[in-house]
Amino acid sequence: MNNPVHHRKAGPRSWARRCATQALYQWQLTGEELTSIETRFLADQDLGKADLDYFRELVRHIPAQVADIDTVLTPFLDRPIEQVDPVERAILRIGGYELMQHPELAYRIVINEAVELAKMFGAEQGHRFVNGVLDKVARSMRPDEFVERC
């Protein structure tokens, strides 16, 4: 997964999500122990710009809750979760986790961050898939945020 130059300045949480996407991708592909992946990322990656606590939360909690997250995502997927591209699967799991566990984050922020990650790391049209799935998840989980306002 390349890390191309991006058009907007990413904040510490965005950096944490970027690094967590890479760590979760690696975990999904290798099945390696998360503690090893986390330790290597903390030693090797440029995490100076990242919110390290948030990176650790994502890398530790998403795998621990992966069954619950996948249960939330599955009704909105057009194929089994295992058949979703591993990069997009990692991004969807981060977005699903944030929608479930961080109600203080507006759904639009969660979706925008996920779309940006998909544009950066995913397949050519992967960001559209990620946007569509997370929008449906958000509408299902947070209907109050979608109430029309005059």
Domain ranges in the chain? 12-141
As a whole number of angstroms, the distance between CA 10 and CA 128 comes to: 21
Q: What is the pTM of this model?
A: 0.90
Indicate whether 3 pLDDT > 90: no
Indicate whether 10 pLDDT > 90: no
Question: What's the confidence (pLDDT) of residue 5?
Answer: 39
Decide if 44 contacts 26 (C-beta within 8 A).
no
- Write down the mean pLDDT value for the chain: 90
Closest to 25 in 3D by CA, of 69, 114, 90, 83: 90
Measured over the CA atoms of residue 63, residue 146, residue 115 and residue 6, the dihedral's sign is negative
Question: What's the confidence (pLDDT) of residue 90?
Answer: 98
Closest to 94 in 3D by CA, of 50, 126, 62, 120: 62
- Structure token pair of residue 36: 């090893």
Percent of residues, the chain, with pLDDT higher than 70: 91
Indicate whether 86 pLDDT > 50: yes
Q: Yes or no: is domain 12-141 CATH 1.10.940.10?
A: yes
Length of the chain: 150
Question: What's the confidence (pLDDT) of residue 47?
Answer: 81
Closest to 13 in 3D by CA, of 127, 89, 116: 116
